[in-house]
Amino acid sequence: MSMMKKKLGFLPIYIWLFSVLVVLNLAPATCQADEPALVKGLSWTFYRKSCPGLEAIVKKRIDFFLRQDITQAAGILRLHFHDCFVQGCDASVLLDGSASGPSEQDAPPNLTLRPKAFEIIDDIKKNVDAICSKTVSCADITALATRESVKKAGGPTYRVPLGRRDGLTFATRNVTLANLPGPRSNVTALIKAFQSKSLDTTDLVALSGGHTIGIGHCSSFTNRLYPTQATSLENEFAQSLYRICPTSTTNSTTDLDVRTPNVFDNKYYVDLVQNQVLFTSDQTLLTNSETKKIVESFASNQTLFFQKFGRAMIKMGQVSVLTGKQGEVRANCSARNPTSYSSVISTVVDDEIVGVEDALSAM
């Protein structure tokens, strides 16, 4: 009998161990069920050992800058989008021009990127390198800064896979123009542009929701005012735009979202269904039955929008990334490293170890 009691005494331990194994096996699928698959070389825990304080540093610096000026959230979000859509999320948009030619920053779509956004990324890089020298790429810092900016503005949080390397080159003017959808693009062109980045129509509509913060330049929407007012513009809203842009050549700006311009919410979609948006590329989402349905669902359900936006950002943040031994980890985000520079970033991701770590973090 005593022997039987001893054996039974171990039973709860066996049950506990079995339960832990079950949780480890199921956690990634159940706790993060809607997250897209990761590109090989990226990991949720890439800097867990080499720079464990990374995300806290990024958050602290973003909090500092956005407390002073919340409008910078839109600038950082736009910077990340313009980087990822042109030769991938490799921080190539941060590079200055060189003897080989002008940089991506000199291409027309990028001329209105906010200088302060570049300064903020440089500041975060400096603060990260003070703790984790030669370890974290500018591309990863940009992705994390974007997530923190969206969150600070009232938007959703989402996990950011890490392990990107910085590009060695920047795209030409023509390549930049060919890859960035313009404010006058129609829905067919937008769907095609997003599909070329492995992003679907839900991603297109969700990422368009980034226009819930930020500003638009008259030159980007006066085609809807001159020579005649577009029929798709709500009249009272159109009259307010005429006051801001009294001529077709006026160089002024206005908020993208007329309801809550500095809050990241779903009001952009409310604006859209009321025909109160600036760009053709926004209004056109109502001309396709599939995108229109998604717009209407986001307009009535902010939680759904936040879920789909976070998922789309994870997908966009993995577009044509450099990993492993590709690219480099820049010492200065605006310039390639000298040949003598050597980074210490890990180039190998152990999928099994990462899987267990992710399961544990999800418990």
| CB-facing half-sphere around the CA of 363: CA atoms within 13 A | 14
Tally Cβ neighbours within 10 Å of residue 346.
15
Catalytic residue annotation:
82
Find out whether 200 is annotated in a ligand binding site.
Answer: no
CA quadruple 130, 133, 139, 142: dihedral, nearest 10: -10
Tally Cβ neighbours within 10 Å of residue 352.
7
Question: Phi/psi class of residue 85: alpha, beta or left (left: φ > 0; alpha: ψ in -120 to 50)?
Answer: alpha
| Alpha-helical segments (H) within 245-350 | 267-273, 280-283, 289-300, 302-316
- Taking CA atoms, 213 is separated from 63, 188, 258, 302, in Å, by 17, 24, 10, 15
Name every residue whose Cβ is closer than 8 Å to that of residue 88 and which is 6 or more positions away in sequence. Answer: 167, 319, 320, 321, 322
Find out whether 167 is annotated in a ligand binding site.
Answer: no
Find out whether 323 is annotated in a ligand binding site.
Answer: no
Find out whether 104 is annotated in a ligand binding site.
Answer: yes
Name every residue whose Cβ is closer than 8 Å to that of residue 297 and which is 6 or more positions away in sequence. Answer: 304
Find out whether 181 is annotated in a ligand binding site.
Answer: yes
Find out whether 90 is annotated in a ligand binding site.
Answer: yes
Q: Which residues on adjacent β-strands are paired with residue 162?
A: 43
Find out whether 92 is annotated in a ligand binding site.
Answer: yes
Tally Cβ neighbours within 10 Å of residue 6.
9
Find out whether 201 is annotated in a ligand binding site.
Answer: no
Annotated binding site for substrate: 181
Binding-site annotation: residue ranges: 83, 86, 88, 90, 92, 104, 181, 211-212, 257, 260, 265
Residue ranges for the known binding site for Ca(2+) are 83, 86, 88, 90, 92, 104, 212, 257, 260, 265
